[in-house]
Amino acid sequence: MKVQSPHKYARIERERRFLLGQFPNNVTVTRVRHIIDRYIGGTALRLRKQSEEGGPTLCKLTQKIPARSGGAQQGLITTMYLTEDEYGVLAQLSAKTLCKTRHSVPPLGIDVFEGELNGLVLAEAEFDSAGAADAFTIPSFVSREVSTDDRFTGGQLVRASPQDIRSWLLEYGIGLWA
């Protein structure tokens, strides 16, 4: 009898992440979404609610399992779509929250963070293959690539203080928050 992988429904997540000193000028934004991410305490689960003006509200439960490999591979990801009622039940669990606005500037999503992370601007691009990730040409408005710096993942940012973020950005020569 063949034993099934414990992650048989997961897909490989390949993404590259970039720091931006500010939101870029002269880009074409094709979509804007407001995102609330709740990182459920003691788990690898993220509960997401995303909405856009004139569009539907989507609710998702995502499990991210780190499995870093060469290049852009971040790990394994499994996502399940939820109803708003299901989201409401799960939103009662203890969690830390990140709020951001995502601007789609294909092939990038540019996240402008709110609240305690106000001023942080990160861009990311997702890829179907390692070759596509390696072939990506970084736009000129990108300050630094941080794909291998796990501090700039949502699961770590949600636990960081504004002072941590300032310090991390300064390591990359980016100063925010006067």
- Mean pLDDT throughout 85-94? 97
Q: How far apart are the C-alpha atoms of 83 and 92, rounded to whole Å?
A: 15
Torsion over CA: 13, 93, 57, 97 (sign)? negative
Mean pLDDT of the chain: 89
Over residues 102-128, the mean pLDDT reads: 94
pLDDT at 178: 40
Q: Tell whether pTM > 0.75.
A: yes
In this predicted structure, what is the pLDDT of residue 104?
Answer: 97
Write down the pLDDT at residue 31.
Answer: 94
Structure tokens at 11: 């897909």
Rg (CA), the chain: 17
Alpha helices by DSSP H, listed for 82-161, are: 84-90, 130-135, 154-157
